[in-house]
Amino acid sequence: MTLMKTLAAGLLAAAALNATAQAWPEKPVRMIVPFPAGSATDMAARVVGQQLQAALGQSFVVDNKPGAGGNIAGSEVVRAAPDGYTLLFSSNSAVASNVALLKSVPYDPLKDFTPVAGIAQNMLVLMVKPTFPAKTLPEFIAYAKSKPGKLNAGFGSSSSQVSIAMLNKLAGLETMSVPYKGIPLAVNDVVGGTLDFTFVDLGNALAQSKGGQLRAIAVTSDKRNPLAPDWPAISETVPGFDITAWFAVVGPAGIPKPVADKLNAAIVALLEKPDAKERFAAIGMAPMPLSPDKLKAFMASEIAKWQRLVKEANVTPE
């Protein structure tokens, strides 16, 4: 009799979970973004949010919470109710690279988040003002070496921070790094002349280059991008340089699996739509659809990868 009651309770629980998943979302969903408006993470979140609203019939509201490399946003999501109505739309910073870059992270990315879906990958671009004396990467390296400790670089993400440090290490440069809450803020100071250079996500780099505010030197991925085939890869001059950012959706630990699976299916479907692909391509991103299980494995591998990159770049955790 006890066994029958246990089985019945299990069936009732499963039925309740399925009913919850079928009803979700019954109200607007909040997507917390750990970087400011105009950042690559923000732009990707808005593309996904608009598509999910059309697909699921509820608003997906982007809420920007920049600061601490993504930890402020990550901490808020960890504390949220695991009901699928508060999500973190994150770059690799909050869910992978901060583990290596910070002495203390207020959560365990693999235990305190429910992986939902991979979104996209993105490269960065080394950019300077049009009046900067170097136009090519070899010229940039030579100029930087002639002024050790004099060039200022701004970073607004873990990817841009490690890009600066890795370029210093592999090219033998001495430049000063200045932290910002987001890449757009660093871009503003390069345009204004406060900074000498920064690393910009490809989508913003294309816009800045087209508008004439900044000039591209080279990209951080190991190969050139079809959207900007004339921009060389840093690795063409500095062998071994290869840094790529990525974006994913996670939620607080304990989100019911049927809800996570429903959201994952909606995201994977939208990433396959031609108009979504075009919108991602326009901001320099390549879709990276991943199931919850594959995203968790990917996050674990990326935590190890960023620990290696941070060590190789001689970055001291803060």
To which residue do tokens 């062998």 refer? Answer: 239
Spatial contact of 66 and 72, defined as CB atoms under 8 Å apart:
yes
CATH 3.40.190.150 in the chain, residue ranges: 9-122+244-312
Contacts of residue 79, Cβ cutoff 8 Å, sequence gap at least 6: 252
How high is the pLDDT of residue 186? 95
- Amino acid 3: pLDDT: 62
pTM of the model: 0.88
**Architecture, CATH, for domain 9-122+244-312:** 3-Layer(aba) Sandwich (3.40)
Contact at 8 Å (CB) between 155 and 177? yes
Domain with CATH 3.40.190.10 in the chain: 123-236
What pLDDT, on the 0 to 100 scale, is given for residue 15? 43
Residue 318 confidence (pLDDT): 84
| Structure confidence at residue 2 (pLDDT) | 64
Per-residue pLDDT of the chain (318 residues; tens, 9 = 90+): 566 565 554 454 444 455 556 789 999 999 999 999 999 999 999 999 999 999 999 999 999 999 888 999 999 999 999 999 999 999 999 999 999 999 889 999 999 999 999 999 999 999 999 999 999 999 999 999 999 999 999 999 999 999 999 999 999 999 999 999 999 999 999 999 999 999 999 999 999 999 999 999 999 999 999 999 999 999 999 999 999 999 999 999 999 999 999 999 999 999 999 988 999 998 899 999 999 999 999 999 999 999 999 999 999 988
Element (H, E) at 307: helix 292-312
Look at the block and give the residue holding tokens 């992270």: 105
Superfamily of domain 123-236: Periplasmic binding protein-like II (3.40.190.10)
